[in-house]
Amino acid sequence: MVEKIQQITVLGATGSIGSSTLSVIEQHSERYKVFALTANTRVDDLLSLCLKFKPAYAVVASEAAALKLQAQLVDTQVLHGAEGLDFVAAHPQVDMVMAAIVGAAGLAPTLAGVKAGKKILLANKEALVMTGALFMQEVKKSGAILLPIDSEHNAIFQSLPANYQQGLQQIGVRRILLTASGGPFRQRDPDTFSDITPEQACKHPNWSMGRKISVDSATLMNKGLELIEACWLFDAKPSQIEVVVHPQSVIHSMVDYVDGSVLAQLGNPDMRTPIAQAMAWPQRITSGVQPLDIFQIARFDFYQPDEQVFPCLRLARKAFELGGTAPAVLNAANEIAVAAFLDEKISFTQIPQLIDAVLQQVSIAQADSLAAVLQADKQARDAAHQWLMEY
Instruction: Note the residues at the interface with ligand NDP (CB under 6 A).
Output: 12-18, 39-42, 100-102, 105, 123-126, 150, 207, 209-210, 212-213, 271
- Phi-psi category of residue 349: left, alpha or beta, with phi > 0 → left and psi -120 to 50 → alpha: alpha
Length of the chain: 391
Task: State the binding partner of 15 from ligand NDP, Mg ion, none, CB within 5 to 8 A by kind.
Answer: ligand NDP
Per DSSP, the residues of 57-103 read EEEESSHHHHHHHHTT-SS-EEEEHHHHHHHHHH-TT--EEEE---S
Least Cβ distance, residue 4 to ligand NDP (angstroms): 27
Interaction partner, residue 271 (ligand NDP, Mg ion, none; CB < 5-8 Å by kind): ligand NDP
Q: Choose among Mg ion, ligand NDP, none what residue 41 binds, the Cβ cut-off being 5 to 8 Å by kind.
A: ligand NDP
| Least gap, CB of 228 to Mg ion (angstroms) | 12
Minimum Å gap between C-beta 312 and ligand NDP is 14
How far is residue 324 CA from its own chain's centroid?
20
Q: Among residues 339 and 364, whose Cβ is nearest to ligand NDP?
A: 339
Residues paired with 303 in a beta bridge: 245
Closest to ligand NDP by CB, 17 or 357: 17
Identity of the residue, 9 or 357, whose beta carbon is nearer to ligand NDP in the bound complex: 9
Nearest approach in angstroms of CB 218 to ligand NDP is 13
Measured from the CB atom, the residue of 244 and 357 that comes closer to ligand NDP is 244
State how far Cα 85 lies from the chain centre: 18
Looking at the Cβ atoms of 155 and 359, the one nearer to ligand NDP is: 155
User: Residue 204 CB, nearest distance to ligand NDP (Å)?
Assistant: 9
14 contact choice in ligand NDP, Mg ion, none (CB below 5 to 8 Å, kind-dependent)? ligand NDP
The residue among 149, 180, 161, 176 whose CA lies nearest residue 273 is 149
**How many whole angstroms from its chain centre is CA 275?**
12
What single-letter DSSP state applies at residue 235?
T
- Between 325 and 331, name the residue whose CB sits nearer to ligand NDP: 331
Question: Can you say how many angstroms the Cα of residue 71 is from the centroid of all Cα atoms in its chain?
Answer: 33
Closest to ligand NDP by CB, 14 vs 265, is: 14
Looking at the Cβ atoms of 68 and 174, the one nearer to ligand NDP is 68
HEC secondary structure over 303-348: ECCCCCCCHHHHHHHHHHHHCCCHHHHHHHHHHHHHHHHHCCCCCC
CB of residue 105 to ligand NDP, shortest distance in Å? 3
Among 126, 138, 150, 229, binds Mg ion (CB under 5 A): 150
Phi and psi dihedrals of 77, rounded to 5?
-90, 130
Provide the sign of the torsion angle of the four alpha carbons 270, 173, 279, 320, taken in this order. negative
β-strand partners of 244: 179
276, 285 contact by CB (below 8 A): yes
Q: What is the DSSP string of 169-181?
A: TTTTEEEEEEEE-
Residue 12 partner contact from ligand NDP, Mg ion, none using kind-dependent CB cut-offs of 5 to 8 Å: ligand NDP
Residue 227 Cβ vs ligand NDP, minimum distance, rounded to whole Å: 14
Using rule CB under 5 A, residue 216 touches Mg ion? no
Closest C-alpha to 263, from 162, 151, 156, 149: 156
Stretch that binds Mg ion, among 7-15, 20-28, 150-158, 271-279 (CB under 5 A): 150-158
Residue nearest to Mg ion (CB): 150
Q: Give the binding site for Mg ion (CB under 5 A).
A: 150-152
